[in-house]
């Protein structure tokens, strides 16, 4: 596996900078024969050339620079040229970081690509499994530890921590290489899993899930960035489809394993189960990924951007999770959190505009395809995580299913995801056409959510499975293709940063989905139970578990199951308007050709807003 995770300034850096501004055909020719024109250049001259390319206006007089800025404001072609120059600037910065090989990496044996890909899939499996393995076990866990009103935080804590860490891992991978970051991320994940398994209280469990997220946030983004280093976009679709299938399989296996552990060994073992898988992933990464080269310089780390981003995301999630549950929506606590979110978000943008190595460059948002794909992906993940997080509990409370049976009920949805994620990946590779996929994804997923909003306690499990299959079919149509589109939009020198930014906002959708659905569900359920149950029954929400309901009398049990259904099911309809917006945005998507080489130039100036 030559070419993966190289770091340091080499003779290839100047070639990478030129590729970011030249046509793709020229870049391909250079990749095929990087030493076609004579002897190797002087290393000091190369570094000076890279620095000059990184700041093309540094040596121009101020008057000339201002005149050019005025001209760009009036001339659309000049504005496009300015965007291309900025893309070259970012490419130069990434070239200095040594992230991209000069020529397209071609391992001596296909077995090398297969081995690396297998290791990446295992890391992704560990990360996605941890997001769903607690779904069916949650009622039993909270019954043992107490705290139904904090149940959503078992999921939200993991997603929140992984969301904050995702762009950080992406940028650090560009700066220092991905191999050792993989190992660190997996090690932190193991510590979090052990903490969850030994947790004596609900607070300890939530803290352990947050530590898991700190490690798990790097696994998916590092896997996607590494596959972009070795597979060109035109061929990458089928690999992204397989990655989507891993997500589908782990989402089905997770609830099943959670239910099995609850019934057979106890819920604490479902966290211990993650540890050997993570250790196996560490072995695969350590053995198959090449070591990054040691670099002489010490690149700046965007600490200010990281802190502002963490405060902003945390404030937003806390406001949506606590609003209507711990505090009224108009209370000073919730209003203060929203205000802190706005202030921190503004501070983040200001910091990123001035940072030498921003974790999320503002240039990305000038690309139309990046913006529409990011917004649509965020909406899809918002609805999906809200569904996956609470449907298994719904099946246990309302339909009286055992934990493993409730986990099996998620199979139809993931079967739909698996079918369409793999097939669309291979279709994109074969035909090069992809615009119809995210458009159809939004339309079909919206239909699925409408059908789920019509569930009642009397709906048959077969019909529920059909509804879930339709939803999964729609989600799978666009889930992985949106990532491929984003990677195809930018020069390969900054594709890792673009992938991290896209996944960051998709994870925000996941966080908001789990938080909003949990907050709305909890508040609606509390109101319904308070209105229907007499005070003498002395039934607290913290005591509502499947085991507790089994011992209640028939009339009281019917009241609780009906209230549970009425509190959760209508929330699915709230996702439909978001998917309609995503559908309209996808109609504006520009279908650029998928690049046939790894070191492609992207379409930054072609799709600028």
Tell me if residue 327 falls in helix, strand or coil: strand
Clarify whether residues 127 and 276 are in a common domain.
yes
With bands split at pLDDT 50, 70 and 90, how would you rate the model's confidence at 111? low
Clarify whether residues 376 and 490 are in a common domain.
yes
DSSP 340-398: HHHHHHHHHHHHHHH-SS-SS-GGGGGBHHHHHHHHHHHHHHHHHHHHHHHHHHHHHHH
Clarify whether residues 351 and 365 are in a common domain.
no
140: in domain? yes
Contact 417, 243 (CB under 8 A): no
Residue-wise pLDDT tens digits, 500-511: 888 888 878 877
Low-confidence winner among 375-379, 469-473, 478-482 (lowest mean pLDDT): 478-482
Low-confidence winner among 128-132, 289-293, 306-310, 368-372 (lowest mean pLDDT): 289-293
| pLDDT(27) > 60 | no
Clarify whether residues 285 and 311 are in a common domain.
no
pLDDT for 341: 94
260: in domain? yes
160: in domain? yes
Residue-wise pLDDT tens digits, 195-212: 998 888 888 899 999 999
Clarify whether residues 324 and 425 are in a common domain.
no
Domain membership of residue 562 as a residue range: 361-601
Q: Compare 82 and 570 and report the one with higher pLDDT.
A: 570
Residue appearing with tokens 């910091």? 351
Domain boundary among 249, 278, 298: 298
The first and second tokens of residue 218, run together, are 């790097």
Return d(Cα 311, Cα 163) in angstroms, integer.
Answer: 12
50: in domain? no
Q: Compare 551 and 463 and report the one with higher pLDDT.
A: 463
Domain boundary among 298, 328, 344: 298
64: in domain? no
With bands split at pLDDT 50, 70 and 90, how would you rate the model's confidence at 88? low
564: in domain? yes
Domain boundary among 341, 356, 371: 356
Low-confidence winner among 112-121, 268-277, 577-586 (lowest mean pLDDT): 112-121
| pLDDT(150) > 50 | yes
Clarify whether residues 352 and 423 are in a common domain.
no
Residue-wise pLDDT tens digits, 62-75: 444 444 444 444 55
| pLDDT(552) > 50 | yes
Q: Compare 81 and 307 and report the one with higher pLDDT.
A: 307
Q: Compare 138 and 348 and report the one with higher pLDDT.
A: 348
pTM of the model: 0.70
Distance from chain centroid for Cα 549: 36
Clarify whether residues 294 and 226 are in a common domain.
yes
Based on the number of CB atoms within 10 Å of its own CB, is 431 exposed (0-12), middle (13-18) or buried (19 or more)? exposed
pLDDT for 471: 92
Clarify whether residues 155 and 230 are in a common domain.
yes
| pLDDT(35) > 60 | no
pLDDT for 576: 92
Compute the average pLDDT of residues 243-260. Answer: 77
pLDDT for 73: 44
pLDDT for 39: 42
Tell me if residue 323 falls in helix, strand or coil: strand
Clarify whether residues 394 and 537 are in a common domain.
yes
Clarify whether residues 315 and 441 are in a common domain.
no
Tell me if residue 608 falls in helix, strand or coil: strand
Domain count along the chain: 3
| pLDDT(300) > 60 | yes
Residue-wise pLDDT tens digits, 486-497: 988 888 777 778
Residue-wise pLDDT tens digits, 590-599: 998 888 777 7
With bands split at pLDDT 50, 70 and 90, how would you rate the model's confidence at 586? very high
507: in domain? yes
Q: How far is CA 379 from CA 99, 109, 383, 390, 436, in A?
A: 31, 40, 7, 18, 18
66: in domain? no
pLDDT for 144: 82
Clarify whether residues 253 and 397 are in a common domain.
no
Q: Compare 536 and 81 and report the one with higher pLDDT.
A: 81
Residue-wise pLDDT tens digits, 514-535: 777 877 887 788 787 777 766 5
Sort residue 119 into left (φ over 0), alpha (ψ -120 to 50) or beta.
Answer: alpha
| pLDDT(50) > 80 | no
Task: Identify the CATH number of the domain in which residue 151 sits.
Answer: 1.20.1250.20
| pLDDT(351) > 90 | yes
pLDDT for 59: 41
With bands split at pLDDT 50, 70 and 90, how would you rate the model's confidence at 85? low
Clarify whether residues 421 and 316 are in a common domain.
no
Mean pLDDT for the chain? 76
Which H or E run includes 26? helix 24-32
Residue-wise pLDDT tens digits, 391-405: 877 888 888 887 777
């Amino acid at each position: 596996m030559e070419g993966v995770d190289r770091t340091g300034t080499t003779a290839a850096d100047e070639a990478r900078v030129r590729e970011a501004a030249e046509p793709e055909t020229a870049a391909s020719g250079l990749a095929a024969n990087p030493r076609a024109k004579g002897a190797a250049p002087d290393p000091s001259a190369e570094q000076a050339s890279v620095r000059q390319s990184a700041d093309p206006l540094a040596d121009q007089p101020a008057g000339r620079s201002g005149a050019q800025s005025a001209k760009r404001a009036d001339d659309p072609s000049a504005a496009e040229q300015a965007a291309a120059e900025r893309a070259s600037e970012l490419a130069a910065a990434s070239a200095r970081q040594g992230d991209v090989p000069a020529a397209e990496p071609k391992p001596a044996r296909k077995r090398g690509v297969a081995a690396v890909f297998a290791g990446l899939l295992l890391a992704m499996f560990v990360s996605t499994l941890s997001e769903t393995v607690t779904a069916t076990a949650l009622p039993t866990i909270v019954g043992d530890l107490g705290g139904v009103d904090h149940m959503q935080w078992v999921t939200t804590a993991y997603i929140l921590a992984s969301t904050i860490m995702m762009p950080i891992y992406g940028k650090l991978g560009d700066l220092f290489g991905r191999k050792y970051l993989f190992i660190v991320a997996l090690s932190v994940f193991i510590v979090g899993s052990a903490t969850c398994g030994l947790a004596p209280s609900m607070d300890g469990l939530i803290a352990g899930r947050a530590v898991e997220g700190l490690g798990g946030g790097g696994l998916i983004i590092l896997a996607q960035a590494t596959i972009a280093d070795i597979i060109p976009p035109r061929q990458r679709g089928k690999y992204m489809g397989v990655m989507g299938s891993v997500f589908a399989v782990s989402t089905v296996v997770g609830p099943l394993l959670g239910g099995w552990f609850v019934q057979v060994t106890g819920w604490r073992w479902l966290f211990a189960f993650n540890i050997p898988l993570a250790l196996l992933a560490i072995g695969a990464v350590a053995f198959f990924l090449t070591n990054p080269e040691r670099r002489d310089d010490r690149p700046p780390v965007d600490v200010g951007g990281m802190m502002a981003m963490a405060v902003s995301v945390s404030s937003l999630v806390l406001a949506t999770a606590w609003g209507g549950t711990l505090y009224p929506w108009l209370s000073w606590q919730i209003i203060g959190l929203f205000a802190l979110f706005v202030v921190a978000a503004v501070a983040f943008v200001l910091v990123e505009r001035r940072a030498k190595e921003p974790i999320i460059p503002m240039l990305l948002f000038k690309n139309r395809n990046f913006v529409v794909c990011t917004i649509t992906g965020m909406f899809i993940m918002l609805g999906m995580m809200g569904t996956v997080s609470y449907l298994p509990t719904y099946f246990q409370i309302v339909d009286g299913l055992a934990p493993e049976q409730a986990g099996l009920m998620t199979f139809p949805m993931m079967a739909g995801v698996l079918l369409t994620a793999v097939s669309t990946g291979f279709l994109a590779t074969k035909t090069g056409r992809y615009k119809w996929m995210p458009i159809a994804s939004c339309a079909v997923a919206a239909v699925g959510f409408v059908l789920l909003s019509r569930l009642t306690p009397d709906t048959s499990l077969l019909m529920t499975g059909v509804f879930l299959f339709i939803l999964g079919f729609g989600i799978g149509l666009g889930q992985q293709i949106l990532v491929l589109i984003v990677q195809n939009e930018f020069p390969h020198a900054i594709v890792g940063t673009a992938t991290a930014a896209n996944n960051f906002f998709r994870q925000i959708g996941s966080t908001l989905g789990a938080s909003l659905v949990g907050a709305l569900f909890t508040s609606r359920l509390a109101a319904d139970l308070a209105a229907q149950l007499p005070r003498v029954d002395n039934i607290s929400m913290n005591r509502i578990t499947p085991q507790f309901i089994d011992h209640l009398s028939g009339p009281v049990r019917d009241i609780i199951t009906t209230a549970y259904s009425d509190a959760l099911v209508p929330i699915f309809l709230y996702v439909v308007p978001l998917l309609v917006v995503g559908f309209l945005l996808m109609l504006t998507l520009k279908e650029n050709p998928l690049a046939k080489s790894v070191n492609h130039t992207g379409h930054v100036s072609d799709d600028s807003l």
